[in-house]
Amino acid sequence: MSRELAGLIVFGVLIAGCGQPTTRPTKPIADTDEKPPATAGGAASDQFALENFVVGEPIRFENLTVFPVASRVPKNDDRFITLDEGLKAGTVEIHELASGAVQSMPSANNEPAERKETDPFAEDSEAIEHQAADPDGPDVPQSDFEANDVNALSLVNRSDKPLYLMPGEVIIGGSQDRTIGCELVIAAHSQPTKVPVFCVEHGRWGRKGIEDTLVQISNAGASRVLSESVSLSVAPNQSLDQVAQQADGGKFVATVGHLGKSARLAVQSDKSQAAVWDEVAEPNSKSGVQPDSGAFTANYSDAETVKRLEPYLESLQIPVAKQDQVVGVLIAINGKMESIDVFESTPLFRKVWPKLLKSYTLDAVNATEDATAKPAECTRAAALSFLAEALHANVASSDSEHGIGLVKRDGQHVLSFTSHIEPAASPAGMGGMGGGMGGGMGGGVHVSGFSK
């Protein structure tokens, strides 16, 4: 028997039905002496080289299969806070930006002025004002929202750790819900920092209204399993009404999840507001949610959609998070490999996992085939091959923005993005606002990959 055939047999014995729920505890990720499949196109950075990882046994529920990815050596350095942690602790604040000295005037029929799409990745040399909301929720005239920048927000990190921001994270509040536009690390104790974003609520530009904000937040965290992935900026002795008032005043008060695969890819690859709007509209249509404003967040607050998500989250969240030395996941839907997310450490992965799982689940429920049919099977060998291509495909581009290096790889089946902090990253300002990256940290942070 050839060595290649023996390797296929080793991986092939792990094939299991994708349609069987997994609610019992799973075994720890097993190591293997098998060599990874051969790859072409050069090696990834040492930290994210294929030989540093072990792909675990599949954990399945219905048509969604998760392959845990473990580091061969412990990666337990918890060097970042996440957006969830910062909002909960009140150490991270996000506000709308007013564009320079623009004076907003009410338009005809009191309609908001036309929104102009800007390039969220272009440096803005003009002075930017930090439009902070009063803690008690100021009465901001509707017309004042017209001056806000669609594709940039102001963020302050007052914590003792750098803040990690992941593309596709959705935040609610302000003039319209947004998603983080690129991979960023914001230094501890930062000055107000300009953060690129995209709109994920096409039909609103102004106040959402206190009642609608309260309903959105309450429904998104209505069940225990969903509440674990909802973070709200609530100060001590502060009511939800006051939080909603802050949202109407231009503050972003909560984060409820991530965009799905196609919208994440639009954010990271297309970098186009129009493309993001298109990819937000598709899951809304498939989920059957039709909010007046076209908000993506309706997928995580609509009662019927939430009911469809819950069984997946209940079955998959804990079994994956408890895996030894887990640093990421490979995702298959209906038997086809779809996504990859691998992080620098176990603590960082476990903190972002609940929200990532929601996005994978949304994609899965929207891709559900005939309920009477058995979903296609998927193998660990296929997952390993997908990971290998994501990490070692030919480099399509290599850029550096805001102290973050980003390598884009373009393979036959997968498009991937590897981010790392530049060793000499300067805490210089972004867009004239100050703040900036955690200089001198260095090292890889995240690999994301998406099937073509």
Most confident of 44-48, 152-156, 210-214: 152-156
Q: What number of CA atoms fall less than 13 Å from residue 316's CA on the CB side?
A: 31
Q: Residue 45's pLDDT band (boundaries 50, 70, 90)?
A: low
pLDDT confidence of residue 344:
96
pLDDT confidence of residue 312:
96
Residue, of 261 and 369, whose pLDDT is higher: 261
pLDDT confidence of residue 222:
61
Q: What is the mean pLDDT of residues 214-220?
A: 76
Angle, alpha carbons 353-157-74 (nearest 5°) = 40
pLDDT confidence of residue 284:
83
Q: What is the mean pLDDT of residues 287-313?
A: 85
Q: What is the mean pLDDT of residues 284-305?
A: 83
Q: What is the mean pLDDT of residues 132-145?
A: 41
pLDDT confidence of residue 46:
77
Task: Give the predicted TM-score (pTM) of the model.
Answer: 0.80
pLDDT confidence of residue 371:
56
pLDDT confidence of residue 291:
75
Residue, of 4 and 215, whose pLDDT is higher: 215
pLDDT at 112 > cutoff 50? no
pLDDT confidence of residue 293:
75
Residue, of 342 and 375, whose pLDDT is higher: 342
Least confident of 112-126, 169-183, 184-198, 251-265: 112-126
Q: What number of CA atoms fall less than 13 Å from residue 226's CA on the CB side?
A: 23
Percent of the chain at pLDDT > 90 equals 51
pLDDT confidence of residue 85:
95
| Tens of pLDDT, residues 388-439 | 999 999 999 999 887 899 999 999 999 999 999 987 654 433 333 444 444 3
Instruction: Tell me the pLDDT of the chain averaged across its residues.
Output: 78
Q: What is the mean pLDDT of residues 74-90?
A: 95
Q: What is the mean pLDDT of residues 267-289?
A: 89
